[in-house]
Amino acid sequence: MTRRELQVEMRKAGRPWEIGKSFDASALIGELKPASRIGHPRSGRIWVDVDGQRRQASDIDQLLWNVAKCIAHLSRWFRLMPGDLIYTGTPAGVAAVGPGQVMAGGVDGVGELRVRVGARAPSDRRST
């Protein structure tokens, strides 16, 4: 998830955009499944629906760098441990979602996730 208004604000201020990506509840994740159980997927349909309408669709074989290459590259820079999460980009079709909308998505052979978008927390405060 991305809070575009924060991303744009940070970009205009010449600051890192990370704040627009790392807010509370920004990292939606389903059940973690070990490769020993599901294998090492090289392909699989990836999709996101919002309120039952398909917004994004592709296949993980369309990643610029496959999963193994991503892990190999990142492990040169970071100590990767079981349970670590690596986030990549998403298929075309990114668009805003609002409170109350239902997002469903998945990767064939890996799993699915369904969430209702909540309202921003009352404690959401920003300082300039």
pLDDT by residue for the chain (128 residues), tens only, comes to 888 888 889 889 998 878 888 777 778 888 888 888 988 888 899 999 999 999 999 998 998 888 889 999 999 999 999 888 888 878 888 888 888 999 999 999 889 999 998 876 554 555 44
Q: If we measure between CA atoms, which residue out of 80, 86, 75, 83 comes closest to residue 31? A: 83
pLDDT on residue 128: 43
Confidence at residue 112, expressed as pLDDT on a 0 to 100 scale: 93
What pLDDT is stored for residue 53 in this prediction?
96
Domains of the chain in start order, with CATH, are 1-30 (no CATH), 44-121 (3.90.850.10)
| pLDDT at site 127 | 47
> Contact, 49 vs 56, CB < 8 A?
no
Task: Pull the structure tokens for residue 46.
Answer: 């990836």
> 106, 90, 122: which is closest to 1 by C-alpha?
90
pLDDT, position 76: 96
pLDDT at 120: 66
Q: What is the pLDDT of residue 73?
A: 95
Q: What is the per-residue pLDDT for 91?
A: 85
Please give the pLDDT value at position 98.
Answer: 87
Residue 88 confidence (pLDDT): 82
Do residues 23 and 3 lie in contact, with contact meaning Cβ atoms separated by under 8 Å? yes
